[in-house]
Structure 1
């Protein structure tokens, strides 16, 4: 009886929250973010002279070459921390949901979001480096809250962003990650969600109580291994089914423009539906423009802010163009997807289950176990990466009492990890979309206004490289207002 009453109470709260958040979230995504995100990405692509194509090789070289940072955090550790947050449910469950709701065309718009997102990621991460501040632990702190206040002089706007980030990363996204882990472990190993939640809480606590440096060290070790393993499995599936690849690619492109068959979760797909779902899940996955990755970018010890901006841009390549594409390949080439296309139109699916079933179709029982382990690692590293973002922003909001505030944040993160493991997927995703929309809108407005500063830094970086300087060094005097940069950071 008590369990029934509790379930009814929780269900009532979820329905009420959905009724409030869904209209606001829908308006933001449909009428604001889709256009703002793509428009900003195109603008940044033009103003940086298509840097994502010109400098792609250079991005890769400096990403895997920045290992040393003394007492601070290295360029690669900052990259791994941001990738830890990026690579999570958006790559496995999120891609599956976008594919089902928006059709194969959603994958095409995910790719387009990533291509323009490279420029967006560069702008925001470079700004985070320019306006970073030194912290007492020897590492740096920075991000949208810092560059909004220092660059725009709008403290109210920076506070608003920090609050939105804490809601999104301290609560919503961690709930979404633990929810997906619990589903995956239950599907593969019949582990009760509550038990998965307890284990996650213990593991998370062991890392986050060591602070941001502990998160960076952990991410540096786990992220490369899990990404490479997932890529190799997807490549194997692609090679085995190579004959079907041209048809799959044609289906993705045709569906993106409304010419695909009426399949999946709806009677048919319009360009709008494919775009909206592809862009939404693309942003959730690669986070370009959201204002999250800059928090990690700012922690790196580098000689020039544009260098770390390029490193963070390469994270979008790894996340969406590589890992998300791997998931799309696994699902679209599977017999499970073909069956669902014809037998279950309009059905509600669970994203991680579709990915898991598709992998099992290719690899048998190994596929089920592999996805369960992959989602555990992907989503777990996202939880600790999300925490790092939360700590940076809680420190910004409560400068004088940051130690107490950080302790409270850690307890809230652990609580949300446990709640997320046993909550309903719909509620968690709705909450995540709502918070992400508010946060991204605030950040995009800020970086649109501040983008000329990042472009000026890029020009300085490229000028030094043309002059033969192997590692360009930043001098704040190249900016119009160098006094906005904290003294001593770039000495």
Structure 2
């Protein structure tokens, strides 16, 4: 076990330790400039998905459903605990750099989702499957299958197995601390709910997310807005603290600007997952008229995760008096919980427990689908999917009832690091394809077409599935 701990620690240092975060930032800036700042140009268009602008075949997964599934995956413990950790380690300035990486990451999310869409395949059931693994195979060729397999294995190991154990642990811990509910009871409930959803396939996952995510997001935002309004006179001062600490006008923690930048960028990337190669798997399931349409939608999910949800947590903490600059030994969830209690009273801890349950459960079903999609890429054996579902339900239960056992899943972060490296390589090699699609989308808009349509025949050199684009006919 010591050998594996050392190995995973070494891989984690090679990826997240010094190389990966700068690469994600640099590539995100490159994508933004090379695409003509597309995430800002189409910002207004992002909101159309909420009103059903891309709705079509009711038997398919809609763009809005795919958006909510991906938001459910991006929004999780990182939005509650991760933001608190970033503030304690990097000071209020870390929030500014979380915002900055989100604005850049919106473009990375758009590019990876666009590529997942254009190379998606129609399943025998009439659904769509895609993601970075299939984009590698159909975009770069069979010679790169080995790279796609590495990606698929890391996706299963990190999200489907490792992160689901931690999600189960987070929910059970919050329920035990605030409500006194035994861990095994929470574990049984969570495992049963997980089994019910995952055995319904992507359609049940999408329908569940279409209900859970709006309740989860709007409920948490509403609480934060109440707290902000209660402290509205202090808001300008908090915003000044965030900016001043971010640029070095004031230091809140040891390390100054360096600590703010490092913690803000890292926690922002962990939270919104832009460029990490996870969300494109869900983006590919949606029925849309043009790949860039879903790219714009997924860019919106990055905005929701960081610019809205993470900001809510940040203001709840910084508008209160629980957080003290220089504190480094405070648990993230506890800091957020105590800050909320200081604003509105002790009942807030129960409210936050419910929020954590919804955040974590939405992440669990999202993580499961990522694993199922990766497994479907490697094998078409039906029994493999059933085995994965049983394993996921068991992992969620184990994570809930045995908090110490989650240490076994410390391979999650290094596996996600490898996953991100593979995804970034594929994105860079396929970026010219994404740029062609973006230009096609813009050209149609300029010609007066309000809802651009992708026609595979206009891109004969691309290995696309014409059955996945019925509107072209």
Q: TM-score, normalised by structure 2?
A: 0.94
In structure 1, how many angstroms separate the alpha carbons of the residues matched to 2:242 and 2:410? 26
2:190 aligned to which of 200, 225, 246: 200
Contact map agreement 2:61 2:286 (CA 8 A) in 1: yes
Deviations 1:283-341 (A, max 9, x none): 22111101111111100111111111111110011111000100111111122113xx3
Runs of 4+ with deviation above 6 angstroms: none
Change (3 A) 1:250 1:451: same
Q: Output the CA distance in 2 between the equivalents of 1:478 and 1:329.
A: 48
Find out whether 1:289 has 2:275 as its counterpart: yes
Normalising to structure 1: TM-score of the pair? 0.91
Decide which of 372, 382, 390 is 1:411's aligned counterpart: 390
Residues 133 and 142, structure 1, Cα contact 8 Å, conserved in 2:
yes
Residue of structure 2 equivalent to 1:337: 323
Shift of 1:256: 2.3
Q: Is the 8 A contact 2:165 2:406 kept in 1?
A: no
Does structure 1 residue 363 correspond to structure 2 residue 369? Answer: no
Of 377, 380, 387, 2:361 maps to 380
The match for 2:71 is 83
User: CA, structure 1 residues 105+262, in 2 after alignment: closer, same or farther (shift >3 Å)?
Assistant: closer
Q: 1:464 aligns with which of 399, 422, 444?
A: 444
Deviation digits for residues 265-299 of structure 1 (CA, Å, limit 9, x no counterpart): xxx13433322322222122111101111111100
Map 1:91-130; keep pairs closer than 5 Å.
91-130=79-118
Change (3 A) 1:260 1:194: farther
Change (3 A) 1:427 1:258: farther
Measured in 1, the distance between the counterparts of 2:24 and 2:92 equals 21
Of the three residues 43, 46, 54, the one matched with 1:56 is 43
Residues in 1 aligned to 2:409 and 2:341: alpha-carbon distance in whole angstroms: 25
Pairing 1:166-245 to 2, within 5 Å after superposition: 166-245=156-235
Aligned to 2:468: 489
Question: Is residue 2:111 matched to residue 1:131?
Answer: no
The answer (yes or no) to whether the contact 1:145–1:159 under 8 Å persists in 2 is yes
Moved more, 67-76 or 135-144: 67-76
Q: Are 1:319 and 2:300 matched, yes or no? A: no
Instruction: Give the alignment partner of residue 45 of structure 1, picking from 22, 25, 32.
Output: 32
> Is the 2:245–2:252 Cα contact (8 Å) retained in structure 1?
no
User: 2-side partners of 1:457 and 1:101: how far apart?
Assistant: 41
Compared with structure 1, are the counterparts of its residues 467 and 143 closer, same or farther at alpha carbon in structure 2 (3 Å cutoff)?
Answer: same
Partner of 1:6: none
Higher mean alpha-carbon deviation, 147-156 vs 101-110, is at 101-110
